[in-house]
Amino acid sequence: MTDWTIVTRSLRARLFSTVTTVASVGVAVALMLVLIMMRSAGREAFERGSGNVHLLVSRDASPLVSVLNGLFYAGAPAKPLMFTEYESLKKSLPVDWAVPVQLGDSYEGKWPVLATNEDFYTKFEPAEHTPWQLAQGTWFAKNFEVVVGAQAARGTGLKLGDKIYLTHGTAGSRGAGSVHVHKEYKYTVVGILKPTGTNHDRVLFTNLPSAWIIHAHDRIEREEHKGQPEHEETEAEHANEKLVTEADLIPEDRKITNIFMRVLTRPGADVGALIPVVMEQMRRDPAFAASPLTVAGPSREIARLMDIVGNIDQILFAMAVVVMVSSGVGIMLALYNSMEQRRRQIAVLRVLGASQPRIFGLILTESAMIGIFGAIAGIGGGLLGAQVAAAVMRERLGLFIDPTLPARGLVAVALGTLALACFAGVVPAVMAYRTSVAKSLRPLV
């Protein structure tokens, strides 16, 4: 009988104990892998998703909220800016470009809609040095044309030429029953974008006048029905309504929620030194004293977010290490508790010629096998768990995370688990090594 046969039979003889111990090791390995992969992938996703924007202007509650809403579509900005304010800032500040953006609408209450102008797709890049690329069709050139991000196209099944209605608000932020579908104005899908690997892939894009028109329609409708009891409009009433055109817009209709800015710099200049100067200039502008602007540097805010999350990561990682160590203790206890039942078996092996070092090696191999099986289960569970976590973050936050770990990282985790298992098996192996043949082979009665 070979040593391998002895080890495998021993593991099968204590199948329940073996499976539970392997499972505890697997959970610990999986938890540690998920934390490692999500931490690095999350930072990369946030840094990539900010694109080539230096500054983000809004009236959100804080710079961090502004970045999460404006660049990662975590929610709809609460307060708007007037388009005239955008024009004033663009003229007065030393910026290379400034792109106006309006957020707040969606498709089916789920997919964000971003209204902007042509500078968005000619100047702004969804990821640094990664310009927009069309998979099909063209960018919007007229009112009520829409371009669909790659993830949004897959998720909705939209294709070129499809007619759609947009929704005011999102089901996630307002409640599924409170969203309002703009059925008066039908949009045409004119383009499908190639994947960028960023949160922008789940967005639909249209021009600003289209967004202004549908909201102006709502304003005019409210004014006409002011003082009248609310009621559900019929199809006939919709058909008789006068559609709003761009000529009907008033200055108050021309609202945006964010301004993407890139500071004007000379080659070799320190961009980091110029950004705070421009930020302070905007904050001190007396024109905005009554309604201050929120000026955010995406890179700085993402770094702050990572610092906050990093502290939590350290706590979770420490917990994962504790779970890992406890699984090692579990291996030791499982083997230790079995030694009393196996002393007679070990004594028989000694009588049949097995040396003490060989007995020590058998127990250590058994412990190592539990560690190997646990590592395999943990790596599989960790990879699956990271993908599930990434899918949840993509669904809830619109954040595209690619949780991967190099092969050498997986090998390192497996070897670390094996080393821990071997270390845990030392005490039971020493007990087996010191087993007295004479005492263990005494008659049971």
Residue 188 or residue 229, greater confidence: 188
Is 254 in the same domain as 394? no
Is 91 in the same domain as 180? yes
Place 258 in a pLDDT band, splitting at 50, 70 and 90: very high
By CB atoms closer than 10 A (0-12, 13-18, 19+), residue 347 is buried
Whether 31 is in a domain gets the answer yes
3-state SS, residue 215: helix
User: Between the CA of residue 188 and those of 204, 213, 240, 407, what are the distances in Å?
Assistant: 11, 16, 22, 46
- 106-122 confidence digits (pLDDT tens): 998 889 999 999 999 99
Whether 167 is in a domain gets the answer yes
Indicate whether 437 pLDDT > 70. no
Domain closes at, from 296, 321, 354: 296
Nearest to 379 by CA among 347, 353, 406, 402: 406
Residue 333 or residue 142, greater confidence: 142
**In the chain, how many domains are there?**
2
Whether 40 is in a domain gets the answer yes
Indicate whether 213 pLDDT > 90. yes
Is 331 in the same domain as 384? yes
Whether 445 is in a domain gets the answer no
What number is the average pLDDT over the span 424-435?
A: 76
- 29-78 confidence digits (pLDDT tens): 998 888 888 877 777 777 777 889 998 999 998 999 999 999 988 888 88
- 317-369 confidence digits (pLDDT tens): 788 788 888 888 888 888 777 766 666 666 666 666 667 777 778 878 888 89
Is 218 in the same domain as 79? yes
Residue 358 or residue 260, greater confidence: 260
Is 74 in the same domain as 36? no
What number is the average pLDDT over the span 427-436?
A: 71
Residue 129 or residue 135, greater confidence: 135
- The two tokens of residue 273 are 């030194």
Q: Are 282 and 89 in contact (CB under 8 A)?
A: yes
User: Between the CA of residue 409 and those of 319, 379, 380, what are the distances in Å?
Assistant: 20, 11, 14
CA-CA distance, 308 to 105, in Å (whole number)?
Answer: 30
pLDDT at residue 264 in the model: 81
Is 23 in the same domain as 64? no
Q: Where are the alpha helices (DSSP H) in 225-293?
A: 235-240, 271-283
- The two tokens of residue 393 are 């973050």
Is 59 in the same domain as 25? no
| Angle (CA) 181 213 248, round 5° | 140
Cα-trace Rg, the chain:
32
Is 267 in the same domain as 390? no
Is 407 in the same domain as 357? yes
Angle between helices 426-433 and 298-351 (to 10 degrees): 10
Is 212 in the same domain as 84? yes
- Mean of all residue pLDDT scores within the chain: 82
Sort strands 180-181 and 294-296 into parallel, antiparallel or unpaired: unpaired
- Matching residue, tokens 């087993």: 435
- 375-401 confidence digits (pLDDT tens): 999 999 999 988 888 888 776 655 677
Whether 50 is in a domain gets the answer no
CA-CA distance, 145 to 205, in Å (whole number)?
Answer: 9
- 281-290 confidence digits (pLDDT tens): 777 777 676 6
pLDDT at residue 177 in the model: 45
Least confident of 14-28, 52-66, 211-225, 376-390: 211-225
Is 314 in the same domain as 379? yes
Enclosing domain of residue 199: 55-296
Residue 289 or residue 180, greater confidence: 180
